Structure 1
Amino acid sequence: MNERTSRWVRRFHPVEDARVRLVCLPHAGGSATAYFPFSRAALAAGLPADVVAVQYPGRQDRRGERCFDDLAAMADALADDLGPWFDRPVALFGHSMGATLGYEVARRLEARGAEPIGLFASACRAPSAQRIEYVHQRDDDGLIAALKELSGTDTTVLGDDELLRMVLPAVRGDYTAVETYRHDGGAELRCPIHVLVGDTDPVTDLAEAGAWRAHTTGTCDVAVFGGGHFYLNSQLDGVVGTVATTLARWQRATPIRRPGRGG
């Protein structure tokens, strides 16, 4: 697969002979480069997966494109783009907003006859456990304060007010998408879900993380790590190890199906 043919997918450390592909979806306000450290750590650990990251519109090399403010529409567009990446078994890894988006993408792929081998849902409340929040309606200063509180955006950006204000339209679009999302109660996933959460996450408590069990007819496991909403930054080796073990189990247990573009 040539990543230059994809509007959405970026590869930092290609592993051409990998047995499985791991598609990583960033948090609200994030970009594909948020997964550069994860991709590098996975390569160093010998993770037998081709790790790729999703680039949302409205940032970095897609800055000239209009960002999405509707999560369902974003899921539609991303699912359409992922078809060629199913030349091998595919799993999805989403952090925060990326987990909800990954869930909706997986639902669409399964409806088309595709079978992701599993979904990693990181630092995210279950779709049925969403809270009513209005961060997206704050003024620019309020939105910046929310970003700094979670410390998820690159620290270089947080320290540069001019740069930070340049990315605010994409941040606001992401927050609008996730805060206006409502689970529609349709068909749940057939693939397994592995939930990862920090034990001091101010956004997702353990009960809300455990509620993912209602969203698959497959297995659902929960792994708790030390840390807050972005525990991933300090627990990278442990996360890579968990992903490696889980991917191996999923690949052995799940049949491979390839997606179409309709249906």
Structure 2
Amino acid sequence: MTPTPWLRCRLPRVAPEVRLVCFPHAGGAASFFTSWTRALPDTIEVWVVQYPGRADRINEPCIEDMAALARAIAPAISALAGIPVALFGHSMGAAVAYEVARLLQRDPATAPVHLFASGRHAPGEVVDEAVHLLDDEALVRELVRLGATDGELLRDAEIRSVFLPAIRADYTLAETYRHLPGPVLDCPITAVIGTGDPEVTAAQARRWREHTSAAFALHGLPGEHFYLVEQAEAVHRLIERGLTTGSGSPVGASRH
């Protein structure tokens, strides 16, 4: 593989059957998915997108436009062709993964085999939000409310100066994103939400079914917006089933 600033793979597999590319949430970095590399079976090789403006890309400018970000990421994933690729995105990352999937689908050789959309309303669901316009204090309170960060940590002005620019840029990207009509995905979509998530309802997540011509499944797991931290094992099992059966839908799961 040619090195790329966009993707990280901490544990290359000897003979993977599928590559799972993960997209972090707003303000998130590739390190969020570190534990996934060993938690998933040897047949699944985990890759993670590293957005600019954080971690080892801290000195690069953030991208605040969804289309521009998707266009930048898609070629890096296209280079993984040869082994089927699935996409998993959480929160903002779900929308980014979807837009990248739309680009990858233009070429049958790079079309994804599955999209896992976590903690995010469907692309066509317009939600009027303006978190990116809040002052620093209010933005930190919002992050703490969602369980995204330690409020005490961000009381330090120097730490804020490092982390808040990328977080604000990501919220700008996510909140100004508007879905444009086009072909639906050919691959299955599995939507997953925390049953206590204040940011997305089951009805909003269910509308992901409108964006695929293939199978769709909706799963609710105990927890709030960052349910996937405590429910990591359950999420991993959903991914395994989804990549095995195509739908990721166990008995009793909603498909409507």
User: Using the alignment, how far apart are the partners of 1:26 and 1:122 within structure 2?
Assistant: 10
User: Using the alignment, how far apart are the partners of 1:205 and 1:160 within structure 2?
Assistant: 34
Aligned residues: 246
User: Using the alignment, how far apart are the partners of 2:149 and 2:51 within structure 1?
Assistant: 15
User: Over aligned residues, Cα RMSD in angstroms?
Assistant: 1.7
Aligned to 1:64: 59
Tell me: CA distance 1:160–1:14, structure 2 relative to 1, closer, same or farther (3 Å): farther
Residue identity matched to 1:215: H
Aligned to 1:177: 173
User: Using the alignment, how far apart are the partners of 2:99 and 2:121 within structure 1?
Assistant: 14
2:44 to 40, 49, 52: 49
User: Using the alignment, how far apart are the partners of 1:238 and 1:112 within structure 2?
Assistant: 32
Tell me: CA distance 1:18–1:147, structure 2 relative to 1, closer, same or farther (3 Å): same
Whether 1:151 aligns to 2:169 is no
- Structure 1, unmatched stretches of 5+, are 252-263
Cα displacement (A) at 1:111: 1.7
Whether the 8 Å CA contact 1:20–1:91 is kept in 2: the answer is: yes
Residue identity matched to 1:68: I
Secondary structure at the counterpart of residue 128 of structure 1: coil
1:120-174 deviation per Cα after TM superposition (whole angstroms, max 9, x unaligned): 0001000011301100011111211111111124678546553133111111110
Cα displacement (A) at 1:87: 2.5
Secondary structure at the counterpart of residue 129 of structure 1: coil
1:104-127 deviation per Cα after TM superposition (whole angstroms, max 9, x unaligned): 000011123332001000010000
User: Using the alignment, how far apart are the partners of 2:93 and 2:168 within structure 1?
Assistant: 15
1:89 to 70, 76, 84: 84
Whether the 8 Å CA contact 2:64–2:172 is kept in 1: the answer is: yes
User: Using the alignment, how far apart are the partners of 1:138 and 1:150 within structure 2?
Assistant: 15
When normalised by structure 1's length, the TM-score is 0.89
1:212 to 208, 211, 215: 208
Cα displacement (A) at 1:245: 1.1
Tell me: CA distance 1:47–1:193, structure 2 relative to 1, closer, same or farther (3 Å): farther
* Higher helix proportion: 1
Aligned to 2:22: 24
Tell me: CA distance 1:87–1:70, structure 2 relative to 1, closer, same or farther (3 Å): same
Whether the 8 Å CA contact 1:16–1:50 is kept in 2: the answer is: no
Whether the 8 Å CA contact 1:48–1:244 is kept in 2: the answer is: no
When normalised by structure 2's length, the TM-score is 0.91
User: Using the alignment, how far apart are the partners of 1:107 and 1:208 within structure 2?
Assistant: 20
1:238 to 234, 239, 244: 234
Cα displacement (A) at 1:22: 0.1
User: Using the alignment, how far apart are the partners of 2:150 and 2:35 within structure 1?
Assistant: 12
Aligned to 2:121: 125
- Structure 2, unmatched stretches of 5+, are 248-256
Secondary structure at the counterpart of residue 34 of structure 2: helix
User: Using the alignment, how far apart are the partners of 1:184 and 1:13 within structure 2?
Assistant: 36
Aligned to 2:253: none
Tell me: CA distance 1:17–1:158, structure 2 relative to 1, closer, same or farther (3 Å): farther
